[in-house]
Amino acid sequence: MKAKLNWGTGILIGIIVFVIISITMTVIFMTQDVSLVSDNYYEKSLSYQDEIDKQSRTKSLDEQVKINFNEEVITISVPSNYLNKDISGEIFFYRPSNPKLDFVLPLQLVEGNQIIPVERLEKGFWRLKLNWTMDGNGYYNERAITVE
């Protein structure tokens, strides 16, 4: 004997499936970490034009500051014709997947270079943001790196 499925049973099964999917999605979404990319995003959005100006000023330089990366070290190199200028700044290591890993290092050049050991960084994607001043003008470089 064949079991018959009438339209009332089909509607009931449809409603039950819908409720199960809704509850599952609610549980999944409630357990996700929804941390903001930046805690003070409003202040950063106000100063974004300054960052754009710094980037365009950086692009207009005769020689660029280089950020090189290999498996062992990150090297920041300032061209030799800038060494007699007053250079200061900071290097911000930004980890989009975990803001607790973010940290800042001062820019401390030795003969135009700063070497940062990669062992300080956990494996994964990082965004290195170099914010620096030279003779009173602000500059900004950024480089994405993946530590393996």
The torsion angle over the Cα atoms of residues 130, 68, 75 and 55, rounded to 10 degrees, is: -20
Regarding whether 95 and 68 lie in a shared domain, the answer is yes
| Ranges in the chain, pLDDT < 50 | none
Regarding whether 72 and 100 lie in a shared domain, the answer is yes
* pLDDT value of position 43: 74
* pLDDT value of position 33: 61
* pLDDT value of position 36: 55
* pLDDT value of position 34: 55
Q: What's the one-letter identity of residue 6? A: N
Q: Tell which residue, 79, 113, 107, has the closest CA to residue 93.
A: 107
| Domain carrying residue 17 | 1-32
Number of domains in the chain: 2
For residue 21, how far is the Cα from the chain centroid?
Answer: 33
β-sheet with 73-77: strand ranges across: 66-69, 73-77, 113-117
Regarding whether 2 and 68 lie in a shared domain, the answer is no
Q: Are 140 and 129 spatial neighbours (Cβ–Cβ below 8 Å)? A: yes
* pLDDT value of position 37: 59
* pLDDT value of position 1: 58
**Widest distance between CA atoms in the chain:** 95
